[in-house]
Structure 1
Amino acid sequence: MLLRHDRLSSDALRELATGKVLALHVPEYHAPDLCTEIVERILDGMGKGYRRIYESNVRAFTETRGDAETRRAYLATAIEVMAEIRRSCHPLASPVDRLRCELDELWPGGACLLRLEENALVFGMVRVWRGGAQAHPHLDVLRESAPDVRDAAGFTEQLGVNIYLRMPAQEHDSEGALELWDFGLMDEAVIGRSSWGTYGYRRETLPNPTIRIRPAVGDLIILRTTRLHAVQPTCDGERITLSGFIGCSGPDEPLRLWS
């Protein structure tokens, strides 16, 4: 259910897109010493940013639903948000730009930014998780959270991307771990479970995770976000990622990318 490879490949993407595996783990996808070199510059370029359970340089696209002004602001600044990441990494290559190129090269239908009203969406948002921050078990399915996005209706699978720029020191095996369950929206294990307010599911109502991954600096993890997933809290330090989503509509259609 978990693939580990030393590089991204067409076969690995196909197994993710067709639901044969839950996640792909590529250790040191981006050299750890280069991550250390760029992460402070990326943080400096964030400015005030946005705060949820994590801090970010941009709102998640799904948070713009139902607010026309917020959505207009997101679309108007998306190109600049991505350009700022590029500037922060210069003269080194942005890990997100590398990933975009490889997805385009490896997928039969290519890959492109998801667009709305002819405007590109951000791909590669910064997420800063401080000590104690966690993500409860949840699903990310764009066709459910943003049904007005036409392309999302054709997605047969949705993947999440994380490139890890900084990880706190590990005191326990589960600390800061990414957890995945092989349950989807319509599975009995999820239907009717007590929700955590309006976000996610109570961990105590679920069995043990199918997979637990403790990433290191430089690692790339691509997971199926249509399956239940969570992030364990860390006691101290920061967990910083460049993150986004991939919409899959079949091998002959381009992968759609956004954050």
Structure 2
Amino acid sequence: MSRAVKPGVTFLAHHDIFAKDAPNSFQACSLQAQMAANVYLSMPDEGGTLQIWDQQLSAEAFDEMRGDSYGIDPTLLGAATLEVCPEAGDLILFNSRKMHAVTPGSEGMRLSLSCFVGYRGPATPLSFWS
């Protein structure tokens, strides 16, 4: 998936869990781990920082906090465990089941290519989707 994010846009705190989105899918429920893979093509002059929290919220707690939105205000989670400000050309892999958000950028577009990588064990090839 490609993303072009204009200056000033924030990605709210959220998690990406394939099994939550497709609870009746063997492909989704057989995952032992799920990662996000982001390649950054260009970054704003300032901001666009990837924030990751170590805690995992239950699906129920997250849904209650977010209401009708896709995510929640990152300040509700406290300080992020990790903050990474990618540069053009960087590849970042992280556990997408952990809460994550992106701070707003200033001047310049944030362009990236993204997909998910699924792990089902040492005898099974990795799977990719977006």
CA distance in 2, matches of 1:136, 1:196: 13
The answer to whether the 8 Å contact 2:50/2:100 transfers is yes
Where does residue 180 of structure 1 map in the other structure?
52
**1:142-171 CA distance string (max 9 Å, x none):** 11112343211100111001001111112x
Q: TM-score, normalised by structure 1?
A: 0.47
The answer to whether the 8 Å contact 2:45/2:106 transfers is no
| Root mean square deviation of aligned Cα | 1.9
The answer to whether the 8 Å contact 1:135/1:232 transfers is yes
Unaligned runs of 5+ in 1: 1-124
Where does residue 134 of structure 1 map in the other structure?
10
Where does residue 35 of structure 2 map in the other structure?
159
Q: How many residues align?
A: 129
Q: What is the CA-CA distance between 1:196 and the residue it aligns to?
A: 5.6
CA distance in 2, matches of 1:148, 1:194: 24
Please state if 1:223 is matched with 2:99.
Answer: no
Moved over 6 A (4+): none
Q: What is the CA-CA distance between 1:253 and the residue it aligns to?
A: 1.3
The answer to whether the 8 Å contact 2:74/2:101 transfers is no
- Tell me the secondary structure at the aligned position of residue 28 of structure 2: helix
Task: Give aligned-pair identity as a percent.
Answer: 34
Alignment of 1:48-63 (within 5 A): none
CA distance in 1, matches of 2:3, 2:25: 24
Q: Quick check: which one's strand share is greater?
A: 2
Alignment of 1:45-194 (within 5 A): 125-170=1-46, 175-186=47-58, 191=61, 194=65
**1:170-223 CA distance string (max 9 Å, x none):** 2xxxx1100000111339xx9366226331122222110000000000000001
The answer to whether the 8 Å contact 1:178/1:212 transfers is yes
Higher RCO (CA < 8 A, seq sep 6+): 2
AA of the residue aligned to 2:122: P
Unaligned runs of 5+ in 2: none
Q: TM-score, normalised by structure 2?
A: 0.90
The answer to whether the 8 Å contact 1:194/1:205 transfers is no
Q: Quick check: which one's helix share is greater?
A: 1
